[in-house]
A and B are shown apart, each in its own frame.
Chain A
Amino acid sequence: MSATAPPLEVVHLRAGYVRDAWIVEDASFALAAGSMTALVGPNGAGKSTLLKAVLGLAPIVRAERVAFFGGDLDAARARVAFIPQRSAIDWDFPATARDVVAMGLVARIGLFRRTGRDALAAAERALDSVGLLGMAREQVGELSGGQQQRVLVARALVAEPDLLLLDEPFANVDAASEAHLASVLRARAARGSTVLAVHHDLRSVRAHFDEAILLNRALLAHGPVAAVLTDARLAEAYGFVGVTSAERAPAARAGEAEARA
């Protein structure tokens, strides 16, 4: 494992749920340390599948190479954090926000040991960093969607990861939570962590991210946001020109609905 190895390097990755029906047909990319990258593409492009496949969480994955900091995932497990889609979680679970954030420390605390005072204090600091210290003892099920998403980010941050992989962190999140989350991730990147997030709203890619990966089953482009999200490339990926499509509209509408509620 060399010091200069990229936080994540993927070479010719294919992934899917059924044999010989690949959702992600070919993806190769490497993330630079400290970069913030948006993973964009139309619905069904395989964005979430790619994210899970990289972590070995998709059913079928074939790849020439998937390296974390130059080594395999097992060696880097403690340095990598994954935040699944909020909708993948059953929020009726009996736990406070602080309990959930402390779950980010389970591996570090170690088998057969209890979550002690130190871990709970660390969880409160992480909640503070996402602006939810006042909610530490609230049941997670009673928080708003945006607050739940911030709890998940706090659960990732509490372990001080060097690489953060997020699946739609801004989906169905009110505007205040989105701004807060973006600044938290930005601050994390400024301290050297690398961020890769599946992102739906093409309009806000530029505001939140430095780089973008454009995916539509295969990886179409990877680089600075302005260079990737060109009209020609978007037309190729989405089948239209510009960002006036229905693709971002549902996300925007859902965001407004949440803000109203």
Chain B
Amino acid sequence: MLTLRRNRKNETGNSASLSGKDTDSETKRRGASQWAVAWRRFKKHKSGLFGLGMIVVLLIVAIFNTVIAPYPARPAPDALKPLYDGEAAQAPSWKHPFGTTRMGLDVFSEIVHGSVYTIYVAVAATLITTVLTVAVGITAGYFGRYIDELLMRITEIFLVFPSLLLILVFARIFQLGNAEPFYSFLGINIPIGLTMIILIVSIFAWAGNARVVRGEVLRLKETEFIQAEKSLGASSWWIMLKHVFPNVLPQIIVLATLSMASAVLVEAAVSFLGFGDPNTYTWGRLMEESYSDMSTTWWSEVFPGLAVFLTVLAFNLFGDGIADALNPRLRE
């Protein structure tokens, strides 16, 4: 049995992480749960681990932003201290690692404070997108027939339409009716404009993912254990919650990680084009503010963009890593 398996693997030569030695250890620990196996596989995925490391750094920066940043966040008057010290529009130096803007803001501090919004965008947008993905994907796939037909037609419209165009229109309309900048919840100031953008971005992000989940559910529906549950008289909701959902969960986790990457990217784009929340200084906003100065103080434009790039890269690398770790076709 074991030799046979090893042969097949050598033919396909699929995953570098599966050398002959690992096969033995994985077979021995067959009792381990699929998550433990996945984690073991993930630990060998170098670029995936690198992505995870970058995400951890981002989280630390966001949590300790007030400690790490040498200057406070706007609207605190001290945010403009470099201006009063006569240090506006300075190139990167030891005191200002990413330089200062023409307005007299320390670019490094601004990026550190902006990381909080980046995390908020990534997490909130992904939560909403995932709920929509799961609801549409599982319902369409499981119930099939006219429900599937209807949901898939709606999905197609969302999929086909260049979403950035409509996101801009919605963002602009919400900007008009923006009365209160913040909503205070449990002592945390939640930026309303940014939340609206997150909502809009999420509403246009679920369609592709829902199609993937639906396909997976369609495949599951034909498996024997689901058929057995059905013939035992289990209700549709029970089967969906207890059997279908746990089995599409790996797929959903992968899609969710990749959604984080695209949410951060789209929010940065919307803000950069000037349709963002005027009260929150996200990285895209910082780029918009410095856009007209890029021929002189290029650092105030380049570093916030670099932060966006590295964050999106981190989520994508991490997502690829878990996709490989959870892919049953690559698994022993």
Whether chain B is bound by chain A comes out as no
Task: Name B's A-contacting residues (CB within 8 A).
Answer: none
